[in-house]
Amino acid sequence: MKLFTSYNRILAVITLTGLLAIGFLFYQTLGQYINKQIEDHLYEELLEVKDFAHVKNILPSPDGFDDVIVEYRKISRPSHSSKLFADTVFYNPKKKHEESARYLKTQLLIKGQRYEVIITASKFERQEQIKSIILIILLPLVVLLFVLWLVNRILIRRMWLPFRQLLTNIKAFNINKEKVFEPIRTNIEEFKELNKAVLEVSLKVKSDYREIKLFTENASHEMMTPLAVINSKLDTMLQFNSLGKEESEILADLYKATSKLTKLNQSLLLLVKIDNNQLQAREEIDLKTLLEEKLGYFQELIQKRNLKVKTETAAFTLYANRSLIEILVNNLFSNAIRHNYDGGSIQITLTEDSLIFSNTGTQTRLDPLKIFERFYKDNTSDGTGLGLAILKQVCLRQHYQLSYHYEQRQHQFRIIFNSR
């Protein structure tokens, strides 16, 4: 949920709750005020009845009152309550329908006879007055709240506009490009501080990245020469006939270690080139033909391991960097062969939008979250642990979807190509 939406929801809930509470309290207060007015009126009518009874020594006629209804009832004994105000519903004979009302019940003693006097006044007109008053007050209040909400929404959108621009610039920032982070112009102090902090961080990140990149490239290039010299010397020494068995085994181990170090160095250099987006030239590539060429290239290793290869390839053309696609296919073939067992199988499927490599292997299901991490490999592997990491980086640069599945004792790597 966006911050602006969350803020508006909280504000709306608080406003609505407050409006309902104030409306309820206002209605109750106004109702009590109206009841007090009716009670005062009823008491005045009662005083008139008492005055008339005191002077005339009889009760006045119930028909002699205009806006109230008076009833008399003879009672044999007095009740505990001398005067009682309460609400009721009565039938109005003048309007010929039932109405809510307020009544006053009390007792009078005339000529030794006790009477219960009930004076009832209609509340209908006063309730209509209450509704009108509430409507007159609440309608402008609701309109005012709506206007305030609208103004608040517009103002907040304008106030947060620099933040949105800053967020857009952060998303557009690319560490591989020479273009620095674009600051924004704003008069809001908090956004000025945020803008300054992001600018300083971006400059430091680019500076650190350039230094690490330069160090990695230089170190990798500098390592190539001594590694080539070491490999050459080891090749020469292995040719000597005077070497004993133990010396030959030691030299073979050294040669194997330096070869692995050379492959590791080449893989790291390749990752640096992919990360720096140095392989950008694009062309049309016949992927079916490329797969057939690479299958011939790996044929010797396939025969040596006695692997069974089955292919189902459809004609498919990619528009991409040839070097990256060749790296992708090479790594898929190398992975399927290296991690297979003698006499195993490899299934290659090429459709109009995907490439699938399935192979048997010595290992069971692998962790799909870790196998594409750099230097991740199982204990039986003698590789560098960078093959699948390179595969992942190529797919990321080309915007392909890479996934791993283990089905029917087959390790399956699926690449879904984009439509661009």
- Strands 283-286 and 401-407 come out as unpaired
- Answer whether 287's CB lies under 8 Å from 325's CB: yes
d(Cα 42, Cα 351) in Å, to the nearest integer?
94
- What's the pLDDT score for residue 61? 77
Residue holding tokens 């290239």?
Answer: 297
Q: Find, among 354, 346, 279, the residue nearest to 307 by Cα.
A: 346
Question: What six digits make up the tokens of 343?
Answer: 């006499």
pLDDT of 225 = 66
Q: Which of 70, 75, 77 is nearest to 118 (CA)?
A: 70
Can you give the chain as a three-state secondary structure string? CCHHHHHHHHHHHHHHHHHHHHHHHHHHHHHHHHHHHHHHHHHHHHHHHHHHHHHHCCCCCHHHCCCEEEEEEEECCCCCCCEEEEEEEEEECCCCEEEEEEEEEEEEEECCEEEEEEEEEECHHHHHHHHHHHHHHHHHHHHHHHHHHHHHHHHHHHHCHHHHHHHHHHHHCCCCCCCCCCCCCCCCHHHHHHHHHHHHHHHHHHHHHHHHHHHHHHHHHHHHHHHHHHHHHHHHHHCCCCCCHHHHHHHHHHHHHHHHHHHHHHHHHHHHHHHCCCCCCCEEEEHHHHHHHHHHHCHHHHHHCCCEEEEEECCCEEEECHHHHHHHHHHHHHHHHHCCCCCCEEEEEECCCEEEEEECCCCCCCCCCCCCCCCCCCCCCCCCCCHHHHHHHHHHHHCCEEEEEEECCEEEEEEECCCC
Distance CA 39, CA 34 (A): 9
Tell me the two tokens of residue 393: 């980086």
Q: What is the mean pLDDT of each run of 10 residues along the chain (420 residues)?
A: 71 82 82 83 84 80 76 76 77 76 84 83 78 80 83 79 80 70 77 82 79 69 69 72 72 72 64 60 82 87 88 83 81 84 88 87 74 62 65 79 84 78
Residues 195 and 163: their CA atoms lie apart, in Å, by: 9
Query: Any idea how long the chain is?
Result: 420
Prediction pTM value:
0.45
User: Residue 47 — left, alpha, or beta (φ > 0 → left; ψ -120 to 50 → alpha)?
Assistant: alpha
pLDDT of residue 50: 84
Half-sphere exposure of 89 (CA within 13 A, CB side): 3
Domain boundaries 283-416, CATH class: alpha beta
pLDDT of residue 190: 80
**Cα of 362 vs its chain's centroid, Å:** 41
The pair of three-digit structure tokens given for residue 215, joined into one six-digit string: 């160090």
pLDDT at 132: 81
Q: Would you identify the CATH topology of the domain 3-155?
A: Beta-Lactamase (3.30.450)
The structure tokens listed for 381 are 């592997």
What's at 66, amino acid-wise?
D
